[in-house]
Structure 1
């Protein structure tokens, strides 16, 4: 009989955490958003000046531009680090805060500090808010660190296990996570977030988002020589902190299940001292080595691995967006919407979706871990199927319209042929000849109806084409496909 898992204690002496909040923005107002960012102290991040941004990651952590440049393939690098704001790609704006706060839950309080905040304006009206948080405790139990991560990432606290926590500032003010992020750190941001009126709460901004929480990431240092167990690694990947009563929580009791789960989520290239767990909830690296010995690895976590994560997280959200918008199609009404969706899928696939993004072996392994955790390959295959269905639907619609037009033209051609290609009645040459219609013969009535309906149909087709052209131009102007 299998034994039940007993949670073990692990002392964490230093923790660097990042939380990622995706949101939608109006790409037409991008210039205004950039002005607001610069007014609130968010300068534009450029690769050639990356060496000047050392303090935003914490004391002694320096992410160099050369390291970022040589990590990615050139076609990816140009998207992640565009030369100017006008170029396509991911535009990052960063502000250093160094704001200390207390995290309070169940009569316990822990000291943390917000080092910096990134706001990345990505393609297709999708943006990311990144909050870097560092622990100020000299030593903390792993369960408490994971408890903080689980609660801090829950902006809308609907579930019991995410309720009861709040942020306390130095002036004693107590805030919810939502108010701390979007009213204290970034009070201007809500103005530019797109909200779906059909949904309540913050995440109406992304109705296709699969979880009402931020994605969590961390680099944890434990005491030198600490034993890191499978149960602890499983808890890190699933952010299993504590139960509402304060006991250490593990979301599984079967050791074999934990091993099978880790077989898909654990990167143990540097074991037994360093491990990385990647799941759909969190990406955590833990080591029993000293911070001085792991300085390079910490720099990679803040730099190259950060961008590796961002682009794969972007893949997941965009693929979910396409699947969501495909499900919202009303086939009898949304012909132009279908065309725009085909365009969106095509541009995303050709401009940004790359299976290989890193030139380094570790970067390739991390990319594979993100692919698995975010189920990107299956989502992309599903989108390709959707694209094929859209093409078929568009071809069927076009063929139906063509058949109807050919039918109408054939009728007019046959009737015109019967009349020797001349539908003009001599009475029409007289301005008042139409008054004689009461004496028309059957064939003259056919001639009249055919001529009038032909003129009307021609006018309808011309007006219809003009309206569609104007609407298409207006929709392209409002579209975010070229951002």
Structure 2
């Protein structure tokens, strides 16, 4: 890796670390009660007292602007008016914890401002940790290195072996311990640890190296001798290229053409050269040299409407991957109930959560579309829709075949029992059944009796089976709605 000669300085470094998790089925009500008992407040847009409650001094989020940003059907999902299971139910708590991140190169003072926990449909949830780096002149490499170290839940690189979090009198060797023993100390029992395709951590197949998503705001000092936000700066922000073990700034690519091409594909530069947005599957950040008033407004957007846009994009990708994973695990000739459940889940997701148009304003729409492109959600959605068509075709053929077989069986029973039963044994089955006569039956009469009795039994079994299947279907639907 090439060392960089210049080191920009930041006046502001704000970060939101997002941890998606899979929740145990049927546990959402208990989790909500647990969160409310632990001091988390239910977040509703009509509670304007929360506009500046969670974001630190000088920052606030306009609830009215957030609602106007999204079209009504999207706002209904993101900002429910009540505890709706088919929506993003947000619970937030102020922390204001003064902490220190100890790294091999240096120690960094930071403040944990607040924590959000979202309970979402499809047994998914999000934990968001809102952090601010302390200081008036923060080296750019320091901010990037902090983000890269803090988002790592478990030790995966050599730097992680020498990284610790100091909070009060406690020292945490793993970020995972800091999250689940301090910020969300009673969340872990609700996480779903069931095995899915051998995945290791929290069983989510989209998780890479057990790392959190990072949404960041970097406010560069705009002085006379300060340079513009270079392509290298933008690339480093997207890759979280901070420092090497000696404390020197690093960048994980050396070919200028590659860096230029990458930034072209992953930058939203409508307000360049002073403000850029970088986005990929691990980071979404704003880099700006704007004056303080504009910088605060941009930071508020990252806390508000863009934050929800990122959550929605991550939610879309997770659900699409989850649906694809469910399809890959189906035993197509045996798991008939699972096929019905998958068809229901795909239709529900398509109808309620995935729309081509979600944002009303042009700038927000462009950023959201680029996020969706970065996550590859449209391609995944196309694959899931093809899966739905294949399942419909298979289900239609299977049900047609089953109906044909059932019709043939019933026809045989009807014809045989009608011809033989009505003419040979029906009289003996009237009133008091003459059981003694059956001993003297001829083979054809015995066959008629057998067909008549089994026909009655088959009709009873089919009726009871149909009723049980309908009750199970209603129970599954009710159970899903309650969750």
Same fold (TM over 0.5): yes
Residue 70 (structure 1) aligns with: 68
Residue 304 of structure 1: aligned partner: 305
Corresponding position of 2:281: 280
2:144 corresponds to which residue? 146
1:5–1:255 CA contact under 8 A, matched in 2: no
Q: Do the aligned partners of 1:99 and 1:115 also contact (CA within 8 Å) in 2?
A: yes
**Contact in 2 for aligned 1:416/1:422 (Cα 8 Å):** no
Distance 2:345 2:165 in 1: 40
Q: Give yes or no for contact 1:11–1:223 (8 Å, CA) kept in 2.
A: yes
Residue aligning to 2:132: 134
Q: Which residue of 1 aligns with 2:13?
A: 15
2:106 is aligned, of 99, 105, 108, to 108
Partner of 2:175: 177
Counterpart of 2:315?
A: 314
State how 1:442-461 maps to structure 2 within 5 Å. Answer: 442-461=443-462
- Give the 3 Å change call, closer, same or farther, for CA 297–51 of structure 1 in structure 2: farther
Question: Matches of residues 334-373 of structure 1 in structure 2 within 5 Å?
Answer: 334-373=335-374
C-alpha deviation, 1:235, in angstroms: 1.6
Does the residue aligned with 1:296 lie in a helix, a strand or coil?
helix
Could you list the runs of 5+ residues in structure 2 that have no partner in the other structure? none
Q: Distance in 2 between matches of 1:31 and 1:430?
A: 58
TM-score (structure 2 length as normaliser): 0.91
1:398-421 deviation digits (Å, cap 9, x = unpaired): 112101101102222332454385
- Distance in 2 (CA, whole Å) between partners of 1:203 and 1:157 is 16
Q: Secondary structure at the match of 1:471?
A: helix
Between 277-286 and 448-457, report the one with greater CA deviation.
Answer: 448-457
* 8 A Cα contact 2:16 2:215, kept in partner: yes
Gaps of 5+ in 1: none
Question: Structure 1's 102 and 278: CA in aligned 2 closer, same or farther, altered over 3 A?
Answer: same
Change (3 A) 1:435 1:283: same
Shift of 1:180: 0.6
Q: In the alignment, which residue of structure 1 is the partner of 2:258?
A: 257
The 5 Å alignment of 1:66-465 reads 66-86=64-84, 88-106=86-104, 108-160=106-158, 162-171=160-169, 173-197=171-195, 202-204=201-203, 206-207=204-205, 209=207, 212-224=210-222, 225-244=226-245, 246-416=247-417, 418-419=419-420, 421-422=422-423, 424=425, 426-428=427-429, 433-434=434-435, 437=438, 439-465=440-466
SS at structure 2 position matched to 1:54: coil
Going from structure 1 to structure 2, the CA distance change for 1:246 and 1:445 (only over 3 Å counts) comes to farther
Q: 421-430 or 297-306, which moves further after superposition?
A: 421-430
Cα deviation for residue 244 of structure 1 reads: 5.0
Aligned residue for 1:220, secondary structure, equals strand
Moved more, 247-256 or 193-202: 193-202
Distance change >3 Å, CA 243–CA 478, structure 1 → 2: farther
Tell me the matched-pair count. 478
**Which secondary structure does the structure 2 equivalent of 1:173 belong to?**
strand
Residues 96 and 117 of structure 1 are in contact (CA less than 8 Å); yes or no, is this contact kept in structure 2? yes
What is the TM-score when the length of structure 1 is the normalising length? 0.91
Structure 2 CA distance for aligned equivalents of residues 308 and 396 of structure 1: 40
Distance 1:186 1:441, change over 3 A: same
The alignment yields a C-alpha RMSD, in angstroms, of 2.5
* SS in structure 1 at match of 2:334: coil
Once the 2 structures are TM-superposed, how far is the Cα of residue 426 of structure 1 from its aligned partner? 4.8
Conserved in 1, the CA contact under 8 Å of 2:163 and 2:173? no
Distance between the aligned counterparts of 2:208 and 2:170, measured in 1? Answer: 35
Q: Do the aligned partners of residues 265 and 388 (structure 1) sit closer, same or farther apart at CA in structure 2, a change above 3 Å counting?
A: same
CA distance in 2, matches of 1:308, 1:392: 35
After superposition, the C-alpha distances for 1:196-229 in whole angstroms (9 at most, x for unaligned) are: 146576423x345456221001000122133322
Residues of 2 paired with 1:478 and 1:158: CA distance? 39
CA shift at 1:129, angstroms? 0.8
Q: What is the rounded CA distance, in whole Å, between the counterparts of 1:47 and 1:349 in structure 2?
A: 26
Supply the distance in 2 between the matched residues of 1:146 and 1:85 (Cα, whole angstroms). 37
User: Aligned partners of 1:263, 1:101: CA distance in 2, in Å?
Assistant: 37
The answer to whether the 8 A contact 1:5-1:254 is kept is no
Q: Distance in 2 between matches of 1:176 and 1:112?
A: 16
Distance 2:244 2:346 in 1: 43
Contact 2:22 2:124 in 1 (8 A): yes
Partner of 1:56: helix, strand, or coil?
coil
Using the alignment, how far apart are the partners of 1:295 and 1:40 within structure 2? 31
